Each structure stands twice: as C-alpha cells, then as structure tokens.
Amino acid sequence: MALVKVWISLFLTVFTITGSICGSASAEESESESESKEFVVTLDHSNFTEFVAKHKFIVVEFYAPWCGHCKKLAPEYEKAASILSTNDPPVVLAKVDANEEKNKAIATEFEVRGFPTIKILRYGGSVVQEYKGPRDADGIVAYLKKQSGPASSEIKSAEDASSIVDSDKILVVGVFPEFSGEKFENFTTLAERLRADYDFGHTLDAKLLPRGDSSAAGPLVRLFKPFDELFVDFQEFDVDALVKFVEETSTPTVTLFNKDPKHHPFVMKYFNSPNVKAMLFLNFSTEQFDAFQSKYHEVAQLYKGQDLSFLMGDVEASQGAFQYFGLKEEQVPLIIIQTNDGQKYLKRNVEPDQIASWVKDFKDGNVQPYKKSEPIPEVNNEPVKVVVADSLQDIVFNSGKNVLLEFYAPWCGHCKNLAPILDEVAASFQNDADVIIAKIDATANDIPPDTFDVKGYPTLYFRSSTGNLLNYDGGRTKEDIINFIQKNRATVAKEDSRKEEL
C-alpha cells in the first residue's frame, strides 16, 4: 500500500487531477455567505456517529486547520454545501477537524492519511467510498448530484445513450428483457458497488447502443471503453464475477501516461492495481514511437492475466518517476519493473526488438535487481556520517556499532530544523567509538521497505550493536535523543553482561 501511494503522488504531480484546487467564487463572497449561515455541518467525536446514522447519503471532509489545501477548499466546499442544501433531496456536506486529538479515532477509522480527505458515507455510514470528484464548487455539486442519484440511468432513446456514452470514459450498460429478476438485481448491486469509479446505464433495447450486437435481447452486460476493442459483452451475473469483469476489462492492455487528461483515470487505476508494474519510458515524439508501442503492446498481450501490468510514459510527463527511481534522461528509452516488495529491475537504452526477451528474462528470474544509490562519499569525516544505499549494510548493519540513522529529504523544513540538533548529538558522542550518528537522503537512495517504515521526514531509527532495531518517536531536542541512545545502550550493555555471566 505504501508503494502505491508513493507511485501515485510522484507520478501525478505533473498534471491536475481530482485533488486540484479550482476557485469559482471569491473568498470575500464565500466568507460573507458563511457569516450569515454555515451550510457545512461541523462534526466531532461527540456527535459524528449519531449524525451520520441518520443519513442515507452524507459527505464528510477530514481536514487540518493548518493545511493550505484545506483552506483553499473551504470556500468551495461551503458554496457547494449551500447549493446542495436546496437539492431534492438535500445533500449534506460535513467536516471533521482530524487534527484535533479527540477526533483522531474517527480519522483512524476512516483511514485518513492526508488532508483534505473527503469520504462519501452511504446508508448511515455502513458503506464508505472515496470522493473522486473535482475540488471546485460547481464540480463538487455536479459530482455529488450524480453520486446521490440512481447508480444506473435508464437508456430509453438514442439521445439518452449519446448523453452518457463518453468516448474518453468507461460506461457499463446492462441490457435486459425486463427490469426485474435476480440478474437485474445483481446488476444494480454492481452499479452501487462501483458507482464511484464507473458510469452505469440499463436499457431494454440494444439497438439504442452505439456499438455491439443491436439484436441482443439480454440479459447481458456491455462495457464500452476508449481503448483496445472498444466494447466487451459479458453474460455471467454473479456479483463477484461482474466486479472482476469490470475491473479487468476496464484496464488498458498498455496504459498511456502523458499530460492528456483523458488518460489520468487509467493511470490512477494502473497504480492502484496489485500487479507488478512494468513501465517503458521514452520520448513520445521520437520517430520510433510506433515501433515501441507495437512491440510493447505485443508483450503486454502475451503476459495478460499474469499479474504484470504495463505502462508507457512520456519523458516530459514522468519527471516525478525519474526522480523517484533515480533515472537519467540519457538512459531512455528504458524499461523499469518494480515488484510489490520494492525490488526494481532496469533495462537502459532499450531497442524495440529487445523488449520481449528482456521481460522474459525478468519473468524467468534472470535479471538482477537495480538499486538506486548516491555514490559512497570518498570523505566522510563530518560528525553526522553520510549513508547511501550502497553503504547502508556496512555502516548500519555490519559495523557492530550503535547507530542512530535519520531518513531525510533535502527539501524538508523539519529535517533542516533537526540538522543542527543532530550535529550537537554527534559531537557529544565524537569520542565514543561505539556510537554513530548518521543520515541518509531517502529521496536519492533506495530504502529496504521490509526493514524501515519511512512514511514521512524526518524518520529516525536506532540499531543497537546487538541488532535491536527501534523506531525513534521521542522528542526532538538534543537531550531527548541523547537520553534515548544512552537508555537503549544501557539496556543492551546489561543484556550483554548477563549473557557473559550465564
């Protein structure tokens, strides 16, 4: 799960998606409206459960008062709440200060990991879905009107069909001889379950649909998509089978990643997939693009259904990925494969005819993992020692020392504040050969995810000379850190002496 979040956050920084902020009303107007009446309901630990239980459909924003994105969203969210209060039936928008200590249990329950996080709660909170719509008032209103209405729209005419068939989106249509019976009910269940991700329609007449067998009487499910074979029919109506069909069929054989917004939903779906990720990066304007696309598509077809997903990324749109993987533009065209345990496999300056054989070598276990690492410093005589991926084992695990290791990011303000404190800590241990204070740039070096759980910066770990590994979550003063090291050293020393006595 952590890898998924890293992939998405790094890749999607290059384009505007549902997390973007768009203003459609001035701050002054919104503040004036809120002074007279606040339409967004404020909830907390004392009234959250009771209030949510009373509503079939409610939207909740989890925010932090200090969060800039939350502040930008606030007037848009309030304006949307005002408009939706007159909807039939009204749509309630609420908010919870997830930074408040007493509300953190609610935030944990709803898996709030960043701000703002918006959830759609249905049927008294028994069904929870992610809000995946825009962040401007008009976009919020349009998205929530659709989400609060029927999960599937009836298609009664060709005009109805043309109004919901979008050449850039997935549409799932059920064709039935009548709108009743177990199969129709299962289709309705499917629509309710997946409505946040797909559009659904149902019809009695396949002739109204733009593609496929117009004589089909059903029951069948026809999925329209803007890639590959453009539509697929399915006639098994077990709900789980329907979900699997929609999820698998709505994934492109090869996902394209560039700055075109129509590809964004499929890029999100790609990175949310549990499959191993194969990514080919090249300049989409190169004369060889068609050759690469053809060969890559052939390979993707060959491994379809084998838990390996394929993406082609344009270099211009993929700078976040290049930073994350430690890649250089002179290495393109290149393929990188990342497994769910964090291992990476790289083929630089690949040719179209080399793709199939290299992927086969990877599947056969004949490709060595690639590790991103800064060069090992030739001189490392500062009080706080510099660790890189290639020296991590030697300095932290094999040195036989007590090591306090900071995982930092060069741009992190908290890391900059901690740096002089760590210098002082290191200076206090400079005559102690058994203690090392060290740091590693976690943005420029691969970190073993099964050993260190680094979710933010700075993160501190302490590894004792006997191998105990502890995550440090104490105070950030010189005295706090020194006391922690001494305490854990003392414990280790006592354990060592006891072993000697035995």
Backbone angles phi, psi at 443, to 5 degrees: -90, -15
* DSSP H or E stretch at residue 223: strand 220-224
pLDDT tier, 502 (very low <50, low <70, confident <90, very high otherwise): very low
d(CA 84, CA 63): 20
Show the CA angle centred on residue 292, arms to residues 291 and 296, nearest 5°: 120
Catalytic residue, candidates 415, 438, 447, 485: 415
Residue 24 pLDDT greater than 60, yes or no: no
**What is the maximum span of the chain, computed from C-alpha positions, in angstroms?**
88
d(CA 135, CA 16): 11
pLDDT (tens digit per residue) in 294-344: 999 999 999 998 999 999 999 988 888 887 787 888 999 999 999 988 788
pLDDT tier, 3 (very low <50, low <70, confident <90, very high otherwise): low
Instruction: Give pTM, 2 decimals.
Output: 0.68
d(CA 19, CA 26): 20
Catalytic residue, candidates 4, 25, 128, 412: 412
Helical spans, DSSP H, in 381-464? 392, 413-428
Instruction: Give the side-chain half-sphere CA count within 13 A for 50.
Output: 5
Question: Active-site residue 22, yes or no?
Answer: no
Tokens of 104: 């953190």
Tokens of 455: 């979710």
Are 372 and 6 within 8 A, CB to CB?
no
Catalytic residue, candidates 17, 25, 41, 67: 67
Catalytic residue, candidates 10, 43, 70, 267: 70
In the predicted model, what is the mean pLDDT of residues 56-64? Answer: 95
pLDDT of residue 21: 31
For the chain, the structural domain boundaries read 11-148, 153-249, 254-363, 385-501
Q: What is the signed CA dihedral for 100, 106, 111, 112, rounded to 10 degrees?
A: -30
CATH number attached to the domain at 254-363: 3.40.30.10
Between 56 and 13, residue with greater pLDDT: 56
Nearest to 73 by CA among 135, 131, 15: 135
Write down the residue that tokens 């997946």 correspond to: 194
Provide the β-strand partners of residue 370: 344
What is the DSSP-derived secondary structure letter of residue 369?
P
**CATH number belonging to the domain at 11-148, selected among 3.30.420.40, 2.60.40.10, 3.40.50.460, 3.40.30.10:** 3.40.30.10
d(CA 194, CA 172): 10
Instruction: Give the side-chain half-sphere CA count within 13 A for 223.
Output: 24
254-363 matches 385-501 in fold: yes
pLDDT of residue 36: 57
- Is 385-501 in CATH node 3.40.30.10? yes
Are 166 and 199 within 8 A, CB to CB?
yes
pLDDT of residue 81: 96
Provide the β-strand partners of residue 58: 92, 121
Range in 92-106, 277-291, 436-450 the model is least confident about: 436-450
CATH superfamily of 153-249: Glutaredoxin (3.40.30.10)
